[in-house]
Amino acid sequence: MFHIGGEQELCNKSYFSEVTNSGRASLRLIIENTDLAGKHILVPNFLCEVILDVFKEYRITYSFYEVEETLNYRMPANLDEYDAVYFINYFGFKLPSLERSISLCSQLVIVDDVFSPYPSVLARSKAWCSFNSLRKIAPVADFSLVYINNPITKTEVRYLDDFSDKKYQAKNLKYYYLHDEKGDEGEYLKLFSSAETLLDENVGIFSPSSRSLIEAIEFYSEIESERLVRQKNYELAKSLLPVDITLDMVSDFYSYLPIIIDSRNEVRRKLMDSNIFLAIHWPSTYGVENKLSQRILSLPLDSRYSSEDIEQLCLQIKQALKQPRNYS
């Protein structure tokens, strides 16, 4: 129909969306909106312990499937025995096994996209949910998107302002420490730790702070330029590091480049001596065995880092790998 003017029209999406302050809050929202409390869920054996803690809050029992060294999934034959299947989209990579594994599931599917700017939108009519956590990949202190293909009933809006206030205060102190050499490193580290303790102690579904909503808008407005920098840094790091320690992955938005090394903890300690502090994502969880938690290390790729920074980082990693191991 030919029609000009008036208020802009908008077509509803095939899914419903909501925002919370963190990945764990989004997972709680998903559980409460899909009646998963007290059910049995299948989860990967390479995961963050916080996920299991949230399941315990809702009396959810869980069993594990194996994640291979390539970050792909090895699904069991008895999928139909579970009420839901939980997938982690590691580092936002386009994992070959993700779509294939999801297609095997007739029950609820949850996709953990915490390292992606947007949660996955699944092309399936059966029940699915996805969520991200922007604080994992951006300066934003508390912001998570949730997508569910059924209407969302949100609980009473609650805020955890002390958490976001401490995080932003710590981020500001770190900025001046790194860029102007002002202040004390221990001061902002203590604030970061205090903020995370607050998040651990406060169980519930919280909304993001007003500042984080604004910071998220600014992040998304610059996402294309950020995407290009990360792509460049990924390709540079891949070209400089030994082929046998990196994973050859494709992503629309690179978050980190994982390296897999047997001497991970020792290499990480050596890098700290050069002022390089690399994160360990999905560290070992008590009672859960896998092939990766003791060997994986994450290299940041975001726009804080120039090509020269990435070159120096890779040089330091190669030097640390060549140094004799300390067996004492």
CATH number, domain containing residue 42: 3.40.640.10
pLDDT band at residue 324 under the 50/70/90 scheme: low
Specify the number of domains making up the chain. 2
Q: Is the pLDDT of residue 325 over 70?
A: no
Query: Over the chain, what is the mean pLDDT?
Result: 95
Q: Are residues 142 and 242 in the same domain?
A: no
E-assigned strand segments in the chain: 16-20, 40-44, 61-67, 73-74, 84-88, 108-112, 128-131, 144-148, 256-260, 296-300
Dist CA 105 CA 152 (whole Å): 22
pLDDT band at residue 96 under the 50/70/90 scheme: confident
Range of the domain at 240: 222-321
Q: Are residues 117 and 228 in the same domain?
A: no
In this structure, the chain runs to a length of 328
* Angle value at C-alpha 113, between 111 and 117, nearest 5 degrees: 140
Q: Is the pLDDT of residue 111 over 90?
A: yes
Residue 174 domain-assigned? no
Q: Are residues 142 and 228 in the same domain?
A: no
pLDDT band at residue 327 under the 50/70/90 scheme: very low
**Last residue within a domain, chosen from 120, 148, 176:** 148
Dist CA 73 CA 247 (whole Å): 15
Dist CA 234 CA 239 (whole Å): 9
Q: What is the pLDDT of residue 145?
A: 98
Residue 211 domain-assigned? no
C-beta separation of 102 from 122 below 8 A: yes
Residue 201 domain-assigned? no
Residue 177 domain-assigned? no
**Last residue within a domain, chosen from 103, 127, 148:** 148
**Single pTM value for the model:** 0.94
Domain CATH code at residue 230: 3.90.1150.10
Q: Would you state the structure tokens that stand for residue 29, as one six-digit string?
A: 């929202």
**Last residue within a domain, chosen from 113, 148, 183:** 148
Average pLDDT value for residue range 272-301: 94
Q: Are residues 125 and 235 in the same domain?
A: no
Instruction: Give residue-wise pLDDT tens across range 208-226.
Output: 999 999 999 999 999 999 9
Q: Would you state the structure tokens that stand for residue 112, as one six-digit string?
A: 């953990």
Q: Is the pLDDT of residue 248 over 90?
A: no
